[in-house]
Amino acid sequence: MNHHVTPPSAPAPPPSVPPVSTTISCATCELRDSPACADCVVSYVLDHDVPAPLTLTPDEARAVALLSAAGLVPSLRHREAA
- Which domain range does residue 41 map to? 22-69
Residue type, 30: E
| pLDDT tens-digit profile, the chain (82 residues) | 566 666 666 555 556 666 778 888 888 888 888 888 888 887 777 765 656 788 888 888 888 888 888 988 888 888 888 7
Whether the Cβ atoms of residue 73 and residue 44 lie closer than 8 Å to each other: yes
Residue 60 domain flag: yes
User: How high is the pLDDT of residue 39?
Assistant: 84
Count of domains in the chain? 1
Separation between Cα atoms, residue 30 and residue 35, nearest integer Å: 12
0.85 cut: is pTM over it? Answer: no
Residue 15: which H helix or E strand, with range?
Answer: none
